Structure 1
Amino acid sequence: MKKKYLFVSCLLIRGLAFGQQVEPEPHKISLSDAIDLAARNYPSIKAKKAEKSIAEFNLKAVQKERLPDLIVQDQYQFATNNSLVGATFPVEGPVPSVSGGIRPNNIYQPVWGSFTSLQVNWQAYTFGRIKANIDVAQKATVRQQFDYENEVFQHQIKVIDAYLALLVFQKTVRIQEVNLQRATTFRDVTNAKVISGLRAGIDSSFAGAEVSKAKLLLLQSQQNERSQRIRLGELLGNAAGNMAADSMQFYQKLPTLLREYPDVTQNPLLKVFNSQIDLIKSRSVAIKKSLNPRIVLSASAWARGSGVSNSSDSYSSNFFDGVGYQIGNYLLGAGISWNITPIFRIRHQVSAELQRAQQFQHLLQEQELRLSSQSANANVQIKLAMEQALEAPIQTNAARGAYMQATARYDSGLATLLEVSQAFLLLNRAEVDQSIAINNVWRALLLKAASVGNLSVFLNQVNGQ
């Protein structure tokens, strides 16, 4: 029995220890810091940045195609030489002819040999083929740059939206805390009147129920806030998610609406589609150019050594007799190479690329329609949200007046608890509606910035405060 009691006591102590754990205070972060942190830390942005770097390195590699090929090789052999005056084997690149006459008799005595060559091949003129390949790489670099900028922009929109959502949840928590204080104060006053016999006992129970309702609303708002903190932390690349908005500046002043906003043509997403079309067209030109001939300049120099004497035709298997150079040669030449048969295949490849460009042109038009519709919708949302935000304080003041009247009438015995409860609910809902209405103005402005692809439309209003 003592062991059983000891085990139960340990569980109780452990439970109390866990119950006393306090959640650490969230780290307050400004909107600008949140945007910068997300741009540096979020994995998808890092991946796009890596793709941009890949395209830049690929461009540098393609630009080096203009350089000549320089091939140096050196080898030593130990072999028979019945058909050739010493054997050689390919290392890299073409090997100049080193053959000799065919011997009348097979001689199986191996000898040492050596061979060293230096060869330069330069595609002096390719009729635009290399230039077209460089243009493709440049277009690919531009496309990846726009893709990276669009990824950063779209993610910044998500971060700001999550930040605004966290703001409204934090504001709601404060509203529910005040609501709980009102309900607690009302309960304490009611309990004192019940104890003194001025009120019936049911009033105390009713007031306690209002406190419980206020606690539930507070717990729900705290849960929403914590969930949104985790969401914001995820977008910032922080798995802990212990972030909080640094201030309530967004509730101190409404943004100033502009008469004119930028159009959607500069949206980063449209730039991605336009650059993709340019890349495809450039690729089709490069495919055409691949059919063009190439003029090649070549220069070679080589030296040859063999255990077979070039004067007496004597044999020696000694290493040093074979590796010493006996002869040397050089070669200069120019040639033209033109592969004509791929013309039928290339023609269809070019047609496929042009159709792909047409496909992206249609997709571009679809995105333009979608962004234009989103921009028009943002105009409507901004106007309606502003009207609601201006009307919300009137509702809140009226609800606050009704609450004060209801509590005063209740204190004087002219109102019932039901009227007070309705006043409680009306005031709490009005305060929450006001915070949401103000937040909706900022989110509508963010929607406008997202549609036109210009974040300054939103940030200028924030920094102006």
Structure 2
Amino acid sequence: MLVLRSKAAKMTAYILVCISPLLSLAQMQSVSLQSLIDSATHHLPVLDQKRALVKSADAQVDNVRHNFLPSAVVADELTLGTDNGVPGSYWSFGIIPSTSSGIRSSNDYQPAFGNIAILYGQYNLINFGLKNAKVEQAKMYADVNNADLEKEIYLLKWQIAKLYFDLKKNTFQLEVDAQNVKRNEEIYKVIQAVTRSGIKAGADSSMALAELSKTRINYNQTLGQVFQLQQQLSYLTGIPQYNLSVDTTAKSDYNQSVQAILLQSDSAQNPLTDYYEKQKKVYDATEVLVKKSYMPKVLLSASTWARGSGIDYSGNFKTDPSYGLGYQRVNYMAGLTLSYDLFNGVHKRDELAVSKYNAQAIDYALQQQRLALQNANAQANDAINTANKNLQEIPVQIKSSGDTYNQKRAQYKAGIINLIDLTNASYVLYRSQTDYVRTLNDWMLANLDKAAATGNLDQFIQSIK
């Protein structure tokens, strides 16, 4: 008798250990799918990185516009040097100072002060559409960065939704496993009572205990999967793991909420394809820019300058600095400059070829993405049809298996059947409940994949309460 009480105490303690995580999950405040997504979109650093790139691309648009502002340079230069020059021309190396007018037969090492001030401005008067082409290309790059951010968020929403439904499935399964443990506990108690009465042999008690242990193992494995999914969601959303619990009370409301969505078959607005379409527009804009970049350039230039020198008009060097530091002459000049590189045709052809093949490559990538989404949509439709058929059959399966178990349980207590028949009935009921959980999850995931493939992911998520 003491042994039986000891075993009962151990089993009671084990049940409390198994059920306590489930109770703690039930006590948590349930989180919705939308709240998980909202947290994730403000938590992950990779999204902040994408947002910073979007801002950088927007700033580049202003930078391109400002590159076409007129240039205006003001400078004033004071000098002290000699004035010995010779006739002749040379290529300037950028380090040889300019010496003008000082052509004489002898070298004169006497220095003199000099002063020059200049105001110079230049404006690209006619750019043949180059400015607009550069600005348009910068805008297209900004659109690509924004589309990349939207694509990253879209994939994140898809991933979180899958994890959410997997967590819901495993939480459902945890309830089923807990019921299975409780059911096998009851079977074990019945067997003990029947064994003590002498109706059944003691071997049945050992077999029932082994089956009970197996159900506990299944429960522990499912509980571990729940914790792993919670940890993964915690990583993506920043919500502590112990605050992540899903509502499992409304198992039949999803059908109506999802069927209320008019899922489109058009994926034109899908962020997964929009990203490639924006990239294609970049290469289209680049092709226009290449054509405009090799047009002639018409520049308007204007300058005024003042000059002072310590060498007078007779070639005499003045030692007084005031002769060289003041301004003695003022000049101005304006002009139009037309420039064109005779080899522009070659460079233009080469760059257009590069742009053309880049555009072709991204167009193939766009076609591949559309094909993949069409395939995902077709597979989702097949999965939805299969799950719908199974969901119609499962209620019959669960009711029949439940009735069968209750009958077998009563028959075993009466000594009409053996333990194998009873455990088989219990297993069929457990399998029916598990099939319901799996099929419901398959149905939700298939609808999720269909919504994501057709660009209706946000609408789908909003329908999940």
Note closer, same or farther for the CA distance 1:30–1:316 as it changes in structure 2 (3 Å cut).
Answer: farther
Cα distance, 1:27–1:460 mapped onto 2, change above 3 Å:
closer
1:98-149 C-alpha deviation (Å, 9 max, x unpaired): 8333244323344444433221110011111222111211222222222222
1:176 partner letter: D
CA contact (8 A) 1:316 1:322 kept: no
What is the CA deviation profile of residues 327-367 of structure 1, one whole-angstrom value per residue up to 9, with x for unaligned ones? 33322222111112121121122123223323322332232
Residue in 2 that maps onto 1:127 = 128
2:307 corresponds to 1:304: yes
Give the CA deviation at 1:450. Answer: 1.1
| Structure 1 CA distance for aligned equivalents of residues 323 and 197 of structure 2 | 127
Say which SS state the counterpart of residue 377 (structure 1) adopts.
helix
Partner residue of 1:253? 253
Structure 2, gaps ≥5 residues long: 1-16, 87-91
**Greater Cα offset, 249-258 or 67-76:** 249-258
Q: Tell me which residue corresponds to 1:438.
A: 440
- Distance in 1, matches of 2:80 and 2:181, equals 97
Q: Structure 1 residue 270 and structure 2 residue 273: aligned?
A: yes
Given the alignment of the two structures, is residue 287 of structure 1 paired with residue 295 of structure 2, yes or no? no
Alignment partners' CA distance in 1, 2:241 and 2:345: 59
How far apart are residue 289 of structure 1 and its match?
1.1
2:78: which partner in 1?
Answer: 76
Task: State the distance in 2 between where 1:317 and 1:38 align.
Answer: 76
Find out whether 1:117 has 2:83 as its counterpart. Answer: no
Alpha carbons of structure 1 residues 301 and 198: separation in structure 2 relative to 1, 3 Å: same
1:316 maps to 319
**Matched letter for residue 270 of structure 1:** T
Partner of 1:383: 385
Distance 2:111 2:413 in 1: 122
1:411 and 2:413 aligned: yes
How far the C-alpha of 1:76 sits from its partner, in A, is 3.3
How far apart are residue 322 of structure 1 and its match?
Answer: 4.6
In 2, Cα distance between equivalents of 1:450 and 1:167:
19
Over the residues paired in the alignment, what is the CA RMSD in angstroms?
Answer: 3.0
Residue number in structure 2 paired with 1:16: none
> Corresponding residue for 2:152?
151
Spell out, residue by residue over 1:187-245, the C-alpha distance to the aligned partner (whole angstroms, 9 max, x if none). 2343344445554322322222122111100111011112222222333356x655524
Could you say if the C-alpha distance between residues 192 and 277 of structure 1 is closer, same or farther in structure 2, counting changes exceeding 3 Å? same
Task: Please report how far the alpha carbon of residue 248 of structure 1 lies from its aligned counterpart in structure 2 after TM superposition.
Answer: 2.1
Report the CA distance between 1:154 and its aligned residue: 1.7
Query: What is the total number of aligned residue pairs between the two structures?
Result: 433
Runs of 4+ in 1 over 6 A off after TM superposition: 22-27
Amino acid at match of 1:248: T
1:362-421 deviations in Å (ceiling 9; x for gaps): 332232222222222222221221221232222112121111111111111112111121
Q: Which moved more, 1:199-208 or 1:63-72?
A: 199-208
In the TM superposition, what is the alpha-carbon distance from 1:68 to its structure 2 partner? 0.5
The correspondence for 2:336, drawn from 308, 329, 334, is: 334
- Residues in 2 aligned to 1:246 and 1:196: alpha-carbon distance in whole angstroms: 45
Out of 414-423 and 26-35, give the one that drifted further: 26-35
TM-score (norm 2): 0.84
8 Å Cα contact 1:232/1:243 also seen in 2: no
TM-score norm. by structure 1 comes to 0.84
Q: Please tell me whether the aligned partners of residues 40 and 238 of structure 2 are also in contact (alpha carbons under 8 angstroms).
A: yes
Identity %: 28
Preserved contact between residue 83 and residue 99 of structure 2 (Cα < 8 Å): no
Distance in 2 (CA, whole Å) between partners of 1:282 and 1:391 is 57
Please state if 1:349 is matched with 2:365.
no
Assess if the C-alpha contact under 8 Å between 2:254 and 2:464 holds in 1: no
CA contact (8 A) 2:84 2:99 kept: no
Of 453, 456, 460 in structure 1, the residue corresponding to residue 455 of structure 2 is 453
Of 282-291 and 347-356, the range deviating more from structure 2: 347-356
**8 Å CA contact retained: 1:75, 1:114:** yes
**C-alpha contact 1:51 1:144 (8 A) present in aligned 2:** yes
Does the CA-based 8 Å contact 2:180-2:430 persist in structure 1?
yes
Q: CA deviation at 1:156?
A: 0.8
Find the counterpart in structure 2 of residue 160 from structure 1. Answer: 161
Deviations 1:281-332 (A, max 9, x none): 21111111111111111122223344445687333375x6654444333222
Please list the CA deviations of residues 155-180 of structure 1 after superposition, one character each: whole Å capped at 9, or x if unmatched: 21111011111111111112112221
Asked if the contact 2:50–2:149 (Cα under 8 Å) also holds between the matched residues in 1, the reply is yes
The amino acid across from 2:403 in the alignment is: G
Counterpart in the other structure of 1:64: 66
2: CA distance, partners of 1:278 / 1:215: 59
Match of 2:108 in 1: 107
Change (3 A) 1:422 1:330: same
1:414–1:292 Cα change, 3 Å = same
Distance in structure 2 (CA, Å) of the matches to 1:254 and 1:435: 13
Identify unmatched segments of 5+ residues in structure 1: 1-18, 85-89
> Is the 1:71–1:118 contact (alpha carbons within 8 Å) kept by the matching residues of 2?
yes
Where 1:76 maps in the other structure, the secondary structure is strand
